[in-house]
Amino acid sequence: MKGNDHFNYERIAKAIEYITTNYKDQPNLDEVAANVFLSPAHFQRLFSEWAGTSPKKFLQYLSISHAKKLLKENQSTIFDTAIETGLSGTGRLHDLFISIEGMTPAEYKYGGRDLSINYSFAETPFGNIIVASTPKGICHMAFAENEMDAFAMLKKQFPNAFFQQKLDIIQQRALFIFQYDWSKLQEVKLHLKGTPFQLKVWETLLKIPLGQLTTYGEIANHIHQPGASRAVGTAIGSNPVAYLIPCHRVIQSSGHFGGYMWGPVRKAAIIGYEAANMER
């Protein structure tokens, strides 16, 4: 590490310590930058390069992490949680949860108690699949070797939601993709929860054309974080919607297909299937 790099690292470490210690006061960019003797613009750029996210997002992650802890303990109301986290009210807490978790604070606090989720199973060219939807869109899709285990995994994500085994129009539109019918793809809505980084990676995956492959490094470059290949791999491994969000189209830079949540054999079969259909 060069001398200047070491100096920059120390400044970012000091900034992270300051934000971590004072996040309940919700310090703004100018305050944190002044603490490390940098202009706000320079500090914003330097922090994003070293931490992989902006100071504002880093503060949001700390805030929501604390809020989630309070809500999980079930000893704090949503209003009290907002105030204890340093937010001005429940509106800001609501916006923060929608932005990062894809659900309201109440839905998180009660494990999705206010959510109504339909789910069904379907046969695809690559095996049985479970698909689940809320009124907002597809929230889960996974290849299912065992239907009971598949449902248990779904329920683990939303432990207190109301589940109904029912095939609805939202699921039907999503399942058309396995019939090689891409005409309704624009009608498919997703209801996802994830960090802004994960959502950015998943959004990028949706842009990979049918029959084409890319690498973890190329995804990292596309989202303007060239050093984040490993973090990209982790986000891809957390993809909650199999096939529809085509994480199977991402391979290693060496050309090896690499891992896949639902098995490397299935990944190879999907890649081969899509390539064959492109040649029709």
Q: Examine the pLDDT at 119 and tell me if it is beyond 50.
A: yes
Annotated active-site residue in 247, 250, 251, 271 = 247
Average pLDDT over residues 18-31: 83
Would you state the pLDDT for residue 95? 55
Domain-ending residue, one of 109, 128, 156: 109
Express each pLDDT in 25-69 by its tens digit.
Answer: 888 889 989 988 889 998 888 888 776 677 887 777 766 666 666
Would you state the pLDDT for residue 216? 92
Please report which confidence band the pLDDT of residue 19 belongs to, taking 50, 70 and 90 as the band edges: confident
Q: Examine the pLDDT at 182 and tell me if it is beyond 70.
A: no
User: Which residues contact residue 255 at a Cβ distance below 8 angstroms, ignoring those fewer than 6 apart?
Assistant: none
Q: Which two tokens stand for residue 171?
A: 């699921």
41 shares its domain with 82:
yes
Would you state the pLDDT for residue 80? 57
16 shares its domain with 100:
yes
Please choose, from the candidates 246, 241, 247, the residue with its C-alpha nearest in 3D space to the C-alpha of residue 137: 241
Express each pLDDT in 123-171 by its tens digit.
Answer: 988 889 999 998 888 989 999 989 999 999 999 888 878 899 999 999 9
Would you state the pLDDT for residue 1? 42
13 shares its domain with 104:
yes
Rounded to whole angstroms, what are the CA distances from 104 to 34, 59, 69? 34, 19, 15
105 shares its domain with 127:
no
Domain-ending residue, one of 109, 134, 149: 109
- 139 counts as catalytic: no
Q: Which domain holds residue 212?
A: 196-278
Indicate yes or no: pTM above 0.75.
Answer: no
Would you state the pLDDT for residue 279? 54
Domain-ending residue, one of 150, 169, 187: 187
149 shares its domain with 242:
no
> What CATH number is associated with residue 63?
1.10.10.60
89 shares its domain with 134:
no
**Chain-centre distance for alpha carbon 34:** 32
Express each pLDDT in 62-109 by its tens digit.
Answer: 666 666 666 665 555 655 555 555 554 555 544 555 554 555 555 555
104 shares its domain with 125:
no
How many other C-beta atoms can be found within 10 angstroms of the C-beta atom of residue 154? 22
239 shares its domain with 265:
yes
Q: Percent of the chain scored above 90 by pLDDT?
A: 21
Average pLDDT over residues 214-221: 91
> What CATH number is associated with residue 130?
3.30.160.70
Number of structural domains found in the chain? 3
| Average pLDDT of every residue of the chain | 79
* Residue 174, Cβ density class (10 Å: 0-12 exposed, 13-18 middle, ≥19 buried): buried
144 shares its domain with 208:
no
102 shares its domain with 179:
no
